[in-house]
Amino acid sequence: MLLQLKNIFKWVNSGGQRIFLLKDINLQVEEGEFISVMGPSGSGKSTLLNVIGMLDTFDEGEYHFLDESVHTLKEKHRSNLYKEYIGFVFQSYHLLDDLKVYENLEMPLLYKKFKGSERRAMVADMLDRFNIVGKKDLFPAQLSGGQQQLVGVARALIANPKLILADEPTGNLNSQQSEEIMQLFKRLNEEDGVTIIQVTHSEKNAAYGSRVINLLDGRMV
């Protein structure tokens, strides 16, 4: 078992009222799963992903990740945990505009204290695997959307995470680019055994996964 959410509640207080963002979420994710989270806008998909990614806190419930109880961990410990095991992919890629492709890939490794030689090897490996060696000296603005997201995925994968969290990874892409990214996810999941949780609006993309979770007003339905 990779992670387990037990009775997770998250709310905000607005005008004396408690508005629930997540309501009694129970979820168990095994290693090697490919899960798609679906639901209308505002149903809490991104919030759920952020909670799983430890970027956001919750107000009630328990969260176990591997052998750690995330809800009892201190901020610093928690960030070490996600630094080591989780990679993020965003809809709008969130590459750093001032850095070249190569440097964008290297950036997470800098924060994980890899040595220079290791970093070079890992970046070279990633460029190779994603077939973007020729693009390594380009800036994000010089790439197409699909290529940018490719770099985004490569960056998420570079430190060998156990879990990839993808928030509408194809939301900004055309159908062909979209197809390519989903194929890539599938391959990663099947061949490398990476666990993937993606938020998506598209039934077609959801079909790539092994399990679908539907959210409505913060509840799993």
Sole binder of other proteins in the list 50, 147, 149, 177 (CB under 8 A) = 50
Contact range with other proteins by CB under 8 A, out of 30-38, 106-114, 185-193, 212-220: 106-114
19 binds other proteins (CB under 8 A): no
Of residues 32 and 66, the one with the C-beta less far from other proteins: 66
217, amino acid identity = D
Binding mask 56-95 for other proteins (x = CB under 8 A): x----------------------x---x----x-xxx-xx
If the CB atoms of residues 98 and 191 are measured against other proteins, the closer one turns out to be 98
Residue numbers 157-186 binding other proteins by CB under 8 A: 167-168, 171
Q: Which is nearer to other proteins, 115 or 210 (CB)?
A: 115
Contact set with other proteins (CB under 8 A)? 46, 50, 55-56, 79, 83, 88, 90-92, 94-96, 98, 107-108, 111-112, 155, 167-168, 171
